[in-house]
Amino acid sequence: MNCLIFIKKNPEKNVSCLESDDSCEVSFKDACVYESKQTVNGKVPSENGVRERRTTLPVPMFSRNDFSVWGFLKKCIGMELSKITMPIVFNEPLSFLQRITEYMEHTYLIHKACTLSDSIERMQLVAAFAVSAVASQWDRTGKPFNPLLGETFELTRDEEGYHMISEQVSHHPPISAFYSESLNQDFSFHGSIYPKLKFWGKSVEAEPKGTMTLELSKHREAYTWTNPMCCVHNVILGKLWIEQYGTVEIVNHSTGDKCVLNFKPCGMFGKELHRVEGHIQDKSKKKHQVIYGKWTECVYSIEPKVYEVNKKAEKKSGEDSKKHKQEQSTVGDDADEMPDVQETVTMIPGSTLLWRVAPRPPHSTQMYNFTNFAMTLNELEPGTIGVIAPTDCRLRPDIRAMENGDIDTASQEKERLEEKQRVARRERAKDEEEWSTRWFQQGNNRYTGAADWIYKGGYFDRRYSDLPDIY
């Protein structure tokens, strides 16, 4: 749980999104970091023009050492955890609706893609954005609060040029819908997520069902993809660790370009832990670029021929060392041993750096392993109350109490809110009344045809008088 590797910012480097890197290796401690204050509408916000957001939580996280995880989870093997009321000790002080907005931490990649004229270069940055969307999950072993039916979350980032709204549109099954758009109408990013969680004895597996859709209005392009699987190992015994795995296919529905990304499982000897590898092809299936890196660290692109030559040389030189590892490796019987974390991605000469992870604050391990971005999500900024919808999860008393370190009150409020939700559901059933969503409606994704939730508009008109009382 404390294996987070920190990055020091290198102030002497200033790397653009598609800049080649001349070094042979990129170290975590020397990694340069993209600034959060990006150019918006051709202007860089001044230091004095951007309100400073908080960099820490009110109190550090509480200790989980006195809680018997196995005592609770042994009843849940093979079950879907979204249907089970979980003790608050498992939680982090964020709603799942807030967790979704962490997809937007690296929005500068979309802004950059909007400026490029070549569709393959745009796809490279969309692929980097898809990878960056899961980067904040590393070491985040706390469970976000399940949103209440009708709960919302608004994220407005004027300095980064976008705003976002999400709503819990279904309780059984739990479905969260979101919609974000740039303030100058350059892009929209939206989708709906149905997270399925299952406990398998030593691990918890999360399948984030749902489609992500990114539309670039200037280029009249639409991209769709689904997120990879996520697994938290050693929930009973041993050191908690996370891996992402599965194939992510990003489709440009306008050009026929496609990016196929393979989030690799760690494997028996851990060599593939965190690794992402894939390629971009056009509609005739010709490969144009190879994408490689780690979802915890950075992503590069390179020409396919150069990549293949490098891989052959690497495979030949690595056969002896692999044999040596096999002879010395042992596997624990009681826990899924976490492989040694490789702190670098070896950069193949000629590669282009697409994205590099932002540093976490030095006190992150005491703050639920939050990123700087996550640290700001539950902050009630001056003037917020009375502007945001009364259903916004920043106003949830259980999450607020947990953030402030009052675990007893948080647990009591969580139980009260869940019971209030059950009572409201029984009342609707008695009156034969269907739940009506406010900001989203059921429909089909116009590009894939899959079931989706479509934003109806109107949230930012600020007319909230008829919203349900859920808190």
In this prediction, residue 271 carries a pLDDT of 77
Alpha carbon distance 111, 123 (integer Å): 13
Which is nearest to 155 in space by CA: 358, 377, 374?
377
Note the pLDDT tens digit of each residue in 32-57: 332 334 434 333 333 445 568 999 99
In this prediction, residue 26 carries a pLDDT of 32
In this prediction, residue 383 carries a pLDDT of 86
Amino acid at 17: C
Alpha carbon distance 35, 255 (integer Å): 31
Alpha carbon distance 125, 252 (integer Å): 12
Alpha carbon distance 281, 81 (integer Å): 38
Residue 9 has what DSSP assignment? -
Amino acid at 384: T
Note the pLDDT tens digit of each residue in 304-342: 999 998 888 877 666 555 555 444 444 444 556 655 555
In this prediction, residue 340 carries a pLDDT of 53
Q: Is the pTM of this model over 0.75?
A: yes
Distance between alpha carbon 102 and the CA centroid of its chain, in Å? 5
Q: Which residue is associated with the tokens 């490029």?
A: 116
Give, in order, the Cα–Cα distances in Å from 262 to each of 234, 244, 250, 438.
Answer: 24, 10, 11, 37
Low-confidence ranges of the chain (pLDDT < 50): 1-48, 325-333
Alpha carbon distance 341, 286 (integer Å): 34
Class of residue 429 by CB neighbours under 10 A (exposed 0-12, middle 13-18, buried 19+): exposed
In this prediction, residue 42 carries a pLDDT of 35
Question: How many C-beta neighbours within 10 Å does residue 418 have?
Answer: 14
Strands 221-225 vs 212-216: parallel, antiparallel or unpaired: antiparallel
Give domain 69-455's CATH number out of 3.40.50.2300, 3.30.1380.10, 2.40.50.100, 2.40.160.120. 2.40.160.120
Residue 160 has what DSSP assignment? G
Parse the chain into domains and list their residue ranges. Answer: 69-455
Q: Strand ranges (DSSP E) for 14-105?
A: 19-20, 25-27, 91-95
Which is nearest to 282 in space by CA: 245, 300, 256?
256
Alpha carbon distance 454, 220 (integer Å): 19
Alpha carbon distance 242, 229 (integer Å): 11
Residue 359 has what DSSP assignment? P
In this prediction, residue 63 carries a pLDDT of 75
**Residue 125 CB partners (closer than 8 Å, separation 6+):** 17, 18, 109, 110, 112, 113, 116, 354
